[in-house]
Structure 1
Amino acid sequence: MEEQPGVQVRTLDARSLRGIAHPLRMRLLDALRFDGPATASQLAAKLGESSGATSYHLRQLAAHGFIKDAPEHGKGRERWWQAASQGLTFDDSLLNHSSPEVRGAAEMYLHEVAHTQARDLSTWLGDRTAWPEEWQRTWDMSSATLRLTPELAGELIGKMHALIDEYRGRVTDEAEGDSARVRLHTHAFPLTTE
């Protein structure tokens, strides 16, 4: 993920990668980033996990600086958590790190991101009929295969990200019309040909 104007983005390094490279931690962080502050019990119910597991993994995320307390939401002994940033940047050099543990965490992180993206699309496909007709007509699942050099692929990726950034912040109020959060996944990678 690249940095986004006006959005606080955290760059993953070898230490922080160890703190996030776990499927439940990644789901917890996404829930806090996209749905706002919550307690361990609320997140457990939402994600179908035990509150003990969510509490443990929330503490790990906090220890690595991914989340922080949200005291303005707390009542009594309830501990509320919120995301410390709204995005993550992955440095490809982590895949070639001298530590096998870091390389393994980097691989796991990327595979979990890919799994999450596939799950998002599958959820939409299963739930799309529950959405208004306008949304059922306004979605995309397309692919294109091009012959490119690494330089041209980098240029294309940069232009796709720039185009997406043009739409960031154009609708800021949840109550505005029939707005919804829209998830965009971009993938660009070379294909093995035999």
Structure 2
Amino acid sequence: MTEPRDRQVRNLDARSLRGLAHPLRMQLLRALRQDGPATASLLAERLGESSGATSYHLRQLAAHGFVEDAPERGKGRERWWRAADGGISFDSGLLTDADPDTRGAADTFLHEVASTHARELATWVGTREDWQPAWAQATDMSDWTLRLTPDRAQELIDRMHELLQSYRDEDDAPGAERVRVHTHTFPISTDSERSR
């Protein structure tokens, strides 16, 4: 069961970022968003962690408003958790925050996002033969190098996000699967630029 698509995207501030920027917390939140409500024990089994660790980090996520109880799922003393929002928006200004703890949390957050993208892509490459042949033709691992100003790069990002948003409601068709789309837009230096 997946989370409803109408949940709001949460904008991270310095306090909430510091509460989230831990690899296991980010994995727990991602699991709840992608797979729906679960208990600490179920999440521990899925992620290869102890239930004590998942319980602790779920409580920390709850203290910062990222997860909440899912009482409709509980039986007896079982505590079920669900994601409290539909996604996260990261403000790059957090990378230059005056507080070194916030800057460190921003760095941890970005590294974990990059690591997750790499793991997801490697999983697809390793399991691609498990999917119907049509999926082999409907995947993409391309890269482009463009010359853009920061304003044009932001315009590109906004247009890509707008396009992706327009596909959110098309997943009820027969044969539809959940599809992960990673976008990365960042500057690079070439050897000739470094020598100038």
TM-score, normalised relative to structure 1? 0.93
3-state DSSP of counterpart to 2:75: coil
1:178 corresponds in structure 2 to: 175
* Contact 2:74–2:80 (Cα < 8 Å) also in 1: yes
- Could you list the per-position Cα deviations for residues 96-134 of structure 1 after superposition, in whole angstroms to 9, with x for gaps in the alignment? 111101100001101110110111101100011001111
The equivalent residue for 1:53 is 53
Q: Which residue number in structure 2 is paired with residue 44 of structure 1?
A: 44
| Partner Cα distance (2:162, 2:63) in 1 | 33
Q: Which amino acid aligns with 2:188?
A: L
CA RMSD between the two structures:
1.1
Counterpart mapping for 1:1-194 below 5 A: 6-171=6-171, 173=172, 176-193=173-190, 194=194
User: Aligned to 1:98, what secondary structure does the other structure show?
Assistant: coil
The one-letter amino acid paired with 1:182 is V
Q: Distance in 1 between matches of 2:117 and 2:9?
A: 19
Q: CA deviation at 1:18?
A: 1.0
SS of 1:88's equivalent? strand
Q: Deviations over 1:58-96 (max 9, x none)?
A: 000001100000000000000000000010011111111
CA contact (8 A) 2:97 2:103 kept: yes
Number of residues of Structure 1 aligned to a counterpart in Structure 2: 187
Question: Is 53-62 or 7-16 further displaced after alignment?
Answer: 7-16
| Structure 1 moving runs of 4+ over 2 Å | none
1:11-49 deviation digits (Å, cap 9, x = unpaired): 111110111000000000000011000000000000000
Is the CA contact 2:6–2:86 (under 8 Å) kept in the aligned structure 1? no
Question: Aligned with 2:185: secondary structure?
Answer: coil
The alignment partner of 1:111 has SS state of helix
In structure 2, the gaps of 5 or more residues are none
Identity fraction in percent: 63
Normalising by structure 2, we get a TM-score of 0.92
> Cα gap change, 1:36/1:6 in structure 2, threshold over 3 Å: closer, same or farther?
closer
Q: CA deviation at 1:6?
A: 4.2
